[in-house]
Structure 1
Amino acid sequence: MADRTLETLRFDNSYARLPDAFFAKLNPTPFNAPPRLIHGNPAAAALIDLDPEQFARPEFAGTFGGSLLAPGMDPLAMLYAGHQFGVYVPQLGDGRAILLGEAVNERGGTWELHLKGAGMTPFSRDGDGRAVLRSTIREYLCSEAMHGLGIPTTRALCLVGSDDKVYREDVETGAMLLRMAPSHVRFGTFEVFYYRKQYDRLRVLADYVVDRHYPHLRGTADAVARLFLEVVERTAALIAQWQTVGWAHGVMNTDNMSILGLTLDYGPFGFMDDYDAAFVCNHSDHNGRYAFNQQPYIGLWNLSCLAQTLLPLAPKEALKEALDRYTPIVESEFRRRMRLKLGLREERSGDDELIGGLLAMLQESHADYTRLFRELGRFDSAPGATNESLREYFLDRDRFAAWAVRYRERLRDEGDADDDRRERMDRVNPCYVLRNYLAQTAIEKAQRKDFSEIERLFDLLRDPYRERPGMEPYAAAPPNWGKHLAVSCSS
């Protein structure tokens, strides 16, 4: 039944049927102050057949502000471990999030409803279990932005705020974010049982993941090895997409890596403004472990950690063969997507030189990554065209002119009309991305209880390839103050 109410949502809660060692059961801790809905996502509501008119009900803010439960919810905090900045931490888990349940849509698809900022759990360590308005706005907007870009990601159903005080670097107001994904199982979920030498529970987990999320592997003799191969392929394709849109995760710990190949856990992320291959978006990452240009390597490192945990369940050689597939997939998928960004329809031997030459000029000039590729769609391939608007992006104009000659020759060899090419390029080169300064502007307004900028950005980012009249400032380069915002793990 479509257009369900809170009372008629269907739940399955398969994760709650796993052994007790996988989680701790507890309810969210409600705010002291009354919760209020800041924003709701109709597209996410449609995934669970929820009528968006439910957003207006006080019970909606109560349910996703931690004070009420819908019928069928069975809340729990998930256990996992993880390598954080390369160091193994034996127990992490949901320290400020609670899995409310698994909503089932009319097509039989399940979506875990994961409430972030829901209060302390047995896994909170020294934390308070809360999230702040600032961080929840960033995740809410960026998860929808990534979906709009076509990148696999968790989604967010809603953002609920309150006047409760939360202490970080400063005193801030608390908020909760309802995150959705088919599964929140992470690489670190496997690690916790492997390093405890609880191989029976490791088998239970692997069987559960196969049965629920890779059902085509059920009953196969080499199901775990094939599962790992598919995780390798999904992760490689995901990180290639990050690289082509100029996005940095910031905290690629193994506990932030999804077993489904989704973008998971939006903390100190960042879209590049001025191109810098060594871009570090997390000001706590002093050694640049998770720099933009390190993400493909870190993806491999994290997958190696996952492979280690599967040794009791699958042959070492099969896991190694799967792992060896990673780098070729990242590289080929990156090239394919960069060809699309350049408007090229064919694969040719000179692709690496053409792509690499452009990126080298971007690095030298620190040109705006998103704007440059959008502008490249306007490249005039006619003989003698100077493409002055593009030249302005580069410090070495002669170097650009030489590159433009090669690019023009390649376009003419493919026999493509400029208008057709521009239309294709505009479908893959976004006009709008969630620049840090745009998120910061929305945050500052929201802290004054003006949520209009959240709605405006949400609307732009869910369809980032379509130019909107009057929205030119949102596609422009950031002001100088906006290029140097410090983003931490608490962000």
Structure 2
Amino acid sequence: MPISPQAYRPEAKLLDLGDGFFDPVAPANFPETRTRFRNDRAAAQIGLDALTDDEWTRHFGRFEPLPGTLPQPFALRYHGHQFRNYNPDLGDGRGFTFAQMRDDRGRLMDLGTKGSGQTPWSRAGDGRLTLKGGVREILATEMLEALNVPTSRTLSLVETGEELQRGDEPSPTRSAVLVRLNHSHVRIGSFQRLAYHRDEAGLRKLVGYTLRNLYDEDNDDPVRLLDLVVARTARLAARYMAAGFVHGVLNSDNINVTGESFDYGPWRFAPTWDPAFTAAYFDHQRLYAFGRQPEAIHWDVMQLAVALRQIAESDPLVAALDQFGPRYQPEVTQAILWRLGVRSRDPDTDRDLVQATERALRTSGVGIDRFFFDAFGGDLPSAYDEPWAEVRAALASYEPRKDRSHPYWSGEPCSMLIDEVEAIWAPIAEHDDWTALNAKVAVIRDMSQALAD
């Protein structure tokens, strides 16, 4: 197996938790394994980019164990609030964690799956993923990474040769198994499950595992953990807003404790700055609408505080939780300045610019991606008249953080609205033509280079 010992650094830290946190499972035996997406850029960061095509499908379609890491796949146990209703019957129902390793920054990383077969937590589900769902996750993760949102990476998508019945797609539809690269699959719901069972020893063990392995802190203080999670999730909420992204299902089992976005279902990018824009057709109360995402994530972190109350005093937990708002505000300011392509000045001036930008976006109906493309570097075109006068005046005092010399700026803004997602999927469904998907990934990566610091 062509793995560089300098780049590939396997780990098996998950085993330190013990079998009360997960269930050993076997992957489904798929009729075929046909690689449809291979993210060598992400694979290089964990020393796996030199795998041959045959090795790739063996490890990421048949789940032959990678050397030196977990001996078999494990379905994680967790609970969670789903649309504010507590559900104790969750857990990995169509996925598992099957490997851990260090990336090129030294972080512990998980390889997890989606669509890898049934587990003890599948309930009535078939444990499978539709090919369209896998394509949508590629597009979401590539776009969010380019827009500076902390996110899982889609490492692999392998088509598996089964026909699936789904109520929200024309059926039968094609099947796939996806592998994601993530800093953590430990969820807020992982702690909720232990609190539900009043497992104080388990809570302490998971707190220690998280602090040591995911935050590089040598302690087991639950208040410190909550403080770190508040900071990371406030950053996530802020960057969702700057990206114009709507996750769609911000349940507490979909929020991990390192503040990375993952597990993409009915996501959408908002075409305009409409706080009521909603991604999931089943979110009838608009609980997870675009403008309510910071509130939703804060509510989920509150559930972590409730769970940790079994092993910590209330007052310091409340004090840590109350820092979400004060941490969100500077994070959203910096996230929008980053998209505007300008350097920060001072907190008051920065805040005034961001508030003016949000007001103008909301009242003008200008497309989010269009505006940030045109305004990058701080020079707003003259076509932006009222209500943009305040924004133009504020931008005049800012220095660009990067010029517009990259070829991306000579074209059109890269967006990912629902009509384009469907247009990318259509030739795959009709003619097995992947040209549009591959071209879109290339454009997104060009945008990423143009935006990057």
Q: TM-score, normalised by structure 2?
A: 0.89
Task: Please tell me whether residue 324 in structure 1 is matched to residue 318 in structure 2.
Answer: no
Bigger mean CA deviation after superposition, 206-215 or 38-47? 206-215
How do residues 160-175 of structure 1 correspond to structure 2 at under 5 angstroms?
A: 160-169=158-167, 170-175=171-176
> Which residue in the other structure is 2:424 paired with?
442
Residue 53 of structure 2 is matched in structure 1 by: 56
CA distance in 1, matches of 2:204, 2:398: 55
CA apart distance, 1:359:
2.9
Match of 2:281, SS? coil
Partners of 1:38 and 1:237 in 2: CA distance: 32
> 1:89-488 alignment to 2 at 5 Å?
89-104=87-102, 109-169=107-167, 170-216=171-217, 218-219=218-219, 223-342=221-340, 343=342, 345-347=344-346, 349=348, 352=351, 354-377=353-376, 387-391=381-385, 399-400=386-387, 403-404=388-389, 406-412=390-396, 414=397, 420=400, 423=403, 431-447=413-429, 448-465=431-448
Q: Unaligned stretches of 5+ in structure 2?
A: none
Answer whether contact 1:432 1:465 (CA < 8 A) is retained: no
User: Post-superposition shift, 1:277?
Assistant: 1.6
Q: Confirm or deny: 8 A CA contact 1:45 1:51 kept in the other structure.
A: yes
Range moving further from structure 2, 345-354 or 253-262: 345-354
* Equivalent residues of 2:379, 2:395 under 8 A apart: no
- Counterpart Cα distance in 2 of 1:425 and 1:298: 39
Paired with 2:219 and 2:224, the residues of 1 have a C-alpha distance of 12
1:99–1:254 distance in 2 versus 1, CA, 3 Å: same
Distance 2:291 2:88 in 1: 28
Cα 1:360–1:185, aligned 2, differ >3 Å: closer, same or farther?
Answer: same
8 A Cα contact 1:37 1:55, kept in partner: no
Cα displacement string for residues 60-104 of structure 1 (whole angstroms, at most 9, x for unaligned residues): 213212363444442110000000000000131100002112134
The aligned counterpart of 1:478 is none
State the distance in 2 between where 1:240 and 1:10 align: 33
The separation in 1 between residues aligned to 2:219 and 2:205, in whole angstroms, is: 14
Larger deviation, residues 144-153 vs 117-126: 144-153
Q: Contact conserved, 1:434 with 1:461, CA < 8 A, in 2?
A: no
1:15, distance to aligned residue in structure 2 (A)? 1.3
| 1:484 alignment counterpart | none
Give, in whole Å, the separation in 1 of the partners of 2:382 and 2:116: 53
| Matched residue, 1:477 | none
Q: Quick one: which amino acid aligns to residue 48 of structure 2?
A: L
Alpha-carbon distance, 1:317 to partner: 1.1
Q: Which amino acid aligns with 1:323?
A: L
Gap change, CA 1:330 and 1:379, over 3 Å in 2: closer
Secondary structure in 2 matching 1:285? coil
Structure (1 or 2) with the larger CA radius of gyration: 1
Paired residues in the alignment total 441
Do the aligned partners of residues 389 and 467 (structure 1) sit closer, same or farther apart at CA in structure 2, a change above 3 Å counting? Answer: farther
Q: Deviations over 1:422-443 (max 9, x none)?
A: 7289999993243322322222
Q: Distance in 1 between matches of 2:398 and 2:439?
A: 40
Of residues 360-369 and 237-246 in structure 1, the stretch that sits farther from structure 2 once superposed is 360-369
Question: Does the CA-based 8 Å contact 1:130-1:175 persist in structure 2?
Answer: yes
Alpha-carbon deviation of 1:358?
A: 3.8
**Relative to structure 1, is the Cα distance of residues 284 and 106 closer, same or farther in structure 2, using a 3 angstrom cutoff?**
closer
The structure-2 alpha-carbon separation of the partners of 1:159 and 1:411, relative to structure 1 and needing over 3 Å to count, comes to: closer
**Is the CA contact 1:82–1:187 (under 8 Å) kept in the aligned structure 2?**
yes
Q: Equivalents in 2 of 1:229, 1:374: separation in Å?
A: 35
Counterparts of 2:180 and 2:323, CA distance in 1: 31
The sequence identity of aligned pairs, in percent, is 31
Alignment match, 1:66: 62
8 Å Cα contact 1:377-1:425 kept in structure 2: no
Residues 105, 344 of structure 1: alpha-carbon distance in 2 compared, 3 angstrom cutoff: closer
Distance 1:39 1:380 in 2: 38
Unaligned ranges ≥5, structure 1: 382-386, 392-398, 469-491
Between 343-352 and 87-96, report the one with greater CA deviation: 343-352
Indicate how the Cα distance of structure 1 residues 457 and 211 shifts in structure 2: closer, same or farther if over 3 A, else same. Answer: same
**Partner of residue 37, structure 1:** 35
**Structure 1 residues 190, 415: CA separation in 2 closer, same or farther (over 3 Å shift)?**
closer
Q: 1:372 corresponds to which letter in structure 2? A: F
Change (3 A) 1:197 1:126: same
Decide whether the 8 Å contact of 1:96 with 1:120 is kept in 2: yes
After superposing the two structures, state which structure 1 stretch, 122-131 or 311-320, moved more: 311-320
Q: Following the alignment from structure 1 to structure 2, what is the Cα–Cα distance between the partners of residues 410 and 287?
A: 37
* Letter in structure 2 aligned against 1:62: R
